Protein backbone atom coordinates (compact mmCIF):
# COMPACT_ATOMS: atom_id res chain seq x y z
CA UNK A 1 0.00 0.00 0.00
CA UNK A 2 2.85 2.38 0.90
CA UNK A 3 4.48 1.69 -2.48
CA UNK A 4 1.27 2.66 -4.25
CA UNK A 5 1.08 5.89 -2.30
CA UNK A 6 4.71 6.61 -3.15
CA UNK A 7 4.01 5.93 -6.82
CA UNK A 8 0.98 8.22 -6.77
CA UNK A 9 3.03 10.93 -5.08
CA UNK A 10 5.69 10.54 -7.78
CA UNK A 11 3.08 10.85 -10.53
CA UNK A 12 1.57 13.91 -8.85
CA UNK A 13 5.01 15.50 -8.68
CA UNK A 14 5.48 14.78 -12.39
CA UNK A 15 2.15 16.40 -13.18
CA UNK A 16 2.99 19.40 -11.00
CA UNK A 17 6.29 19.94 -12.80
CA UNK A 18 4.50 19.70 -16.14
CA UNK A 19 1.94 22.30 -15.06
CA UNK A 20 4.70 24.56 -13.74
CA UNK A 21 6.54 24.34 -17.07
CA UNK A 22 3.37 25.15 -18.98
CA UNK A 23 2.69 28.10 -16.64
CA UNK A 24 6.16 29.43 -17.41
CA UNK A 25 5.49 29.11 -21.15
CA UNK A 26 2.21 30.99 -20.75
CA UNK A 27 3.99 33.74 -18.80
CA UNK A 28 6.63 34.00 -21.54
CA UNK A 29 3.96 34.22 -24.23
CA UNK A 30 2.06 36.89 -22.30
CA UNK A 31 5.27 38.86 -21.89
CA UNK A 32 5.96 38.60 -25.64
CA UNK A 33 2.47 39.84 -26.36
CA UNK A 34 2.93 42.81 -24.04
CA UNK A 35 6.30 43.65 -25.61
CA UNK A 36 4.89 43.30 -29.11
CA UNK A 37 1.99 45.60 -28.20
CA UNK A 38 4.41 48.27 -26.96
CA UNK A 39 6.39 48.21 -30.22
CA UNK A 40 3.38 48.49 -32.50
CA UNK A 41 2.28 51.96 -33.47
CA UNK A 42 -1.16 52.44 -34.97
CA UNK A 43 -1.35 53.72 -38.55
CA UNK A 44 -3.54 56.53 -37.33
CA UNK A 45 -4.61 57.85 -33.96
CA UNK A 46 -8.01 56.17 -34.29
CA UNK A 47 -6.80 52.83 -35.62
CA UNK A 48 -6.62 49.89 -33.23
CA UNK A 49 -3.18 48.26 -32.94
CA UNK A 50 -2.95 44.87 -34.60
CA UNK A 51 -1.90 42.28 -32.04
CA UNK A 52 1.03 40.03 -32.93
CA UNK A 53 0.10 36.40 -32.45
CA UNK A 54 2.35 34.57 -29.99
CA UNK A 55 4.62 31.77 -31.05
CA UNK A 56 2.66 28.77 -29.89
CA UNK A 57 4.00 25.29 -29.24
CA UNK A 58 3.57 22.90 -32.16
CA UNK A 59 0.15 21.37 -32.62
CA UNK A 60 -0.18 18.20 -30.59
CA UNK A 61 2.29 19.43 -27.94
CA UNK A 62 1.85 17.78 -24.60
CA UNK A 63 3.90 17.01 -21.52
CA UNK A 64 4.59 13.50 -22.66
CA UNK A 65 6.53 14.58 -25.72
CA UNK A 66 8.38 17.47 -24.13
CA UNK A 67 12.02 16.49 -23.75
CA UNK A 68 12.45 17.52 -20.16
CA UNK A 69 12.14 14.28 -18.28
CA UNK A 70 11.82 10.69 -19.32
CA UNK A 71 9.16 10.10 -16.67
CA UNK A 72 6.81 12.41 -18.57
CA UNK A 73 6.67 9.74 -21.26
CA UNK A 74 5.32 7.18 -18.81
CA UNK A 75 1.67 6.57 -18.21
CA UNK A 76 0.61 5.90 -14.64
CA UNK A 77 0.27 2.22 -15.54
CA UNK A 78 3.79 2.21 -17.04
CA UNK A 79 5.18 3.70 -13.86
CA UNK A 80 3.54 1.07 -11.64
CA UNK A 81 4.49 -1.74 -13.98
CA UNK A 82 8.15 -0.73 -14.39
CA UNK A 83 8.52 -0.16 -10.66
CA UNK A 84 7.10 -3.60 -9.96
CA UNK A 85 8.72 -5.63 -12.76
CA UNK A 86 12.06 -3.91 -13.34
CA UNK A 87 12.88 -2.46 -9.92
CA UNK A 88 11.29 -5.04 -7.58
CA UNK A 89 8.86 -2.42 -6.28
CA UNK A 90 11.62 0.03 -5.31
CA UNK A 91 10.30 3.44 -6.44
CA UNK A 92 13.34 5.35 -5.21
CA UNK A 93 15.64 3.09 -7.24
CA UNK A 94 13.60 3.76 -10.37
CA UNK A 95 13.58 7.50 -9.67
CA UNK A 96 17.37 7.54 -9.29
CA UNK A 97 17.75 5.77 -12.62
CA UNK A 98 15.27 8.11 -14.32
CA UNK A 99 17.23 11.12 -13.03
CA UNK A 100 20.46 9.61 -14.38
CA UNK A 101 18.79 8.82 -17.73
CA UNK A 102 17.56 12.41 -18.03
CA UNK A 103 21.17 13.55 -17.74
CA UNK A 104 22.42 11.07 -20.33
CA UNK A 105 23.36 12.86 -23.52
CA UNK A 106 22.79 10.01 -25.95
CA UNK A 107 20.59 7.00 -26.39
CA UNK A 108 23.63 4.72 -26.16
CA UNK A 109 24.65 6.20 -22.82
CA UNK A 110 21.10 5.84 -21.51
CA UNK A 111 20.88 2.21 -22.63
CA UNK A 112 24.19 1.50 -20.89
CA UNK A 113 22.94 3.05 -17.65
CA UNK A 114 19.70 1.10 -17.89
CA UNK A 115 21.42 -2.23 -18.53
CA UNK A 116 23.83 -1.64 -15.64
CA UNK A 117 20.92 -1.08 -13.25
CA UNK A 118 18.34 -3.57 -14.57
CA UNK A 119 19.83 -7.03 -14.85
CA UNK A 120 17.04 -8.66 -16.84
CA UNK A 121 17.28 -10.18 -20.32
CA UNK A 122 16.43 -7.99 -23.31
CA UNK A 123 13.62 -10.35 -24.31
CA UNK A 124 11.73 -9.50 -21.10
CA UNK A 125 8.57 -7.64 -22.17
CA UNK A 126 8.93 -4.86 -19.58
CA UNK A 127 12.58 -4.34 -20.58
CA UNK A 128 11.59 -4.12 -24.25
CA UNK A 129 8.85 -1.60 -23.46
CA UNK A 130 11.18 0.53 -21.34
CA UNK A 131 13.81 0.47 -24.10
CA UNK A 132 11.18 1.62 -26.60
CA UNK A 133 10.31 4.57 -24.36
CA UNK A 134 14.03 5.39 -24.16
CA UNK A 135 14.30 5.37 -27.96
CA UNK A 136 11.28 7.65 -28.29
CA UNK A 137 12.68 10.01 -25.65
CA UNK A 138 16.03 10.41 -27.37
CA UNK A 139 14.64 10.70 -30.93
Tens digit of each residue's pLDDT (9 = 90 or more) over 24-77:
778 887 888 788 777 665 555 555 665 655 555 544 445 444 456 888 888 999
Tens of pLDDT, residues 98-123: 999 999 989 999 999 999 999 999 99
Look up residue 122 and give its DSSP letter: T
pLDDT of res. 63: 46
**43/45 Cα distance (integer angstroms):** 7
pLDDT of res. 101: 93
Going by C-beta distance under 8 Å and a sequence separation of 6 or more, which residues neighbour residue 112? none
Own/partner long-range contacts of 62-71 (Cβ < 8 Å, ≥24 apart): 63/15, 63/18, 63/21, 63/22, 66/18, 66/21, 67/137, 68/17, 68/21, 68/102, 69/14, 69/17, 69/98, 69/102, 70/98, 70/101, 70/102, 70/133, 70/134, 70/137, 71/10, 71/14, 71/98
Amino acid sequence: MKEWLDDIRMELQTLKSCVERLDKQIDQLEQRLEEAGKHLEPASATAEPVPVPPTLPPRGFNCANARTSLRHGFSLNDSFRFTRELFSGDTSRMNRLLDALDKAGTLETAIGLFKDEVLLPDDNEAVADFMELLRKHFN
